Structure 1
Amino acid sequence: MPVHIALLRAVNVGGTGRLLMSELRALCEDAGFTDVKTYIQSGNVLFRSPLLADDAAKRLDESLARIMGKAPGVVVRSRRQLETIADQNPFPDARPNYLMVNFLPEPAPTNALSDLVTPDGEEAHVSGQEIYVHYPNGSGRSRMTLKILRRATSRNLNTVHKLAEMAAEMEAH
């Protein structure tokens, strides 16, 4: 059965969308997912399901809406997709914790970067359903603006690597 990696949007970030990872695991199990594992307190969950990725994302988003009052937004990727995303990093010299991968639920429009404002030297690159952003001074201090990122959920490159590694371990067993 396929291993899915779900990335929740706006969960446990800045005090909004509070969700304990134990609650997330239980919710996933109630939704019919198996071998559920979470990673750090920012809405990363791996599980097995025979559902296609989009269907698994929809099921999890609907389940979350019931307990959170609204659907936070869920993006699901596979181990291979995360490995490819990491391998195609357009900023290979960036420190991995200063490089954010912004996961979108659909492919980015061709004009996705048209309103990009980078006052601190940030760099952005669009690749399909992901937007890579290098924050040379760290994302927490950045004054960069890019409207499309409001629809995305972000993970630094270290987290992308770790989630792919965890999925590989699950697939091996």
Structure 2
Amino acid sequence: MSGKVFIALFSGINVGGNRIVKMAELRSFFEDLGFSAVSTYVQSGNAVFRSDKGDAAALTKRIEAAFEAKWGFHSRIMVRDFGWFERLVRENPYPEAAADHTKLHAYA
């Protein structure tokens, strides 16, 4: 597989039965944008994909605009490359909390 791995985190979809986006439709949306190896996680609005072009900032703008055009509402989207998440874990200032995922949170 080619391309850099990115993770897209959507805000404000599939919460409390509002702004429903089915994950199969979200996967197709990413594929239609030309991304590959797309996978999603339950109804979370989180997607992992590969892209040969762009950085996280450019991809965020592109995906947000296309998402709003398709679904008719704005969702804030955070796109980061896989290396960003690797650094986040490696540089965790609270390693003692890492074993309990309910106590460790990241803010970007």
Instruction: Sort the Cα spacing of 1:84 and 1:30 in 2 relative to 1 into closer, same or farther, 3 A.
Output: same
Is 1:55 matched up with 2:58? yes
- Structure 1 residue aligned with 2:14: 12
Query: Greater CA deviation, 13-22 or 1-10?
Result: 13-22
Equivalent positions of 1:11-160 (< 5 A) are: 11-49=13-51, 50-94=53-97, 95-102=100-107, 130=108
> 1:101: Cα distance to partner?
1.9
For 2:26 and 2:7, the matched residues in 1 are separated by: 13
- 1:114-159 deviation digits (Å, cap 9, x = unpaired): xxxxxxxxxxxxxxxx2xxxxxxxxxxxxxxxxxxxxxxxxxxxxx
Distance 1:99 1:67 in 2: 34
Structure 2 residues not aligned, in runs of 5+ = none
Q: CA deviation at 1:7?
A: 0.9
After superposition, the Cα gap between the structure-2 partners of 1:90 and 1:47, relative to the gap in structure 1 and judged at 3 Å, is same
* TM-score, length-scaled by structure 2: 0.82
Identity of aligned residues (%): 37
After superposing on structure 2, the runs of 4+ consecutive aligned residues of structure 1 that deviate more than 4 Å are: none
The one-letter code matched in structure 2 to 1:18 is: I
Please give the root-mean-square deviation of Cα atoms over the aligned residues, in Å: 1.6
SS in 2 for 1:84: helix
Could you tell me the TM-score, scaled by structure 1's length? 0.54
In 1, Cα distance between the equivalents of 2:89 and 2:11? 20
Q: Which has the higher contact order (CA 8 A, sep 6+)?
A: 2
Q: How many angstroms does 1:65 deviate by?
A: 0.5
Q: State the Cα distance separating 1:55 from its structure 2 match.
A: 1.4
Larger radius of gyration: 1
- The residue matched to 1:100 in structure 2 has which SS? coil
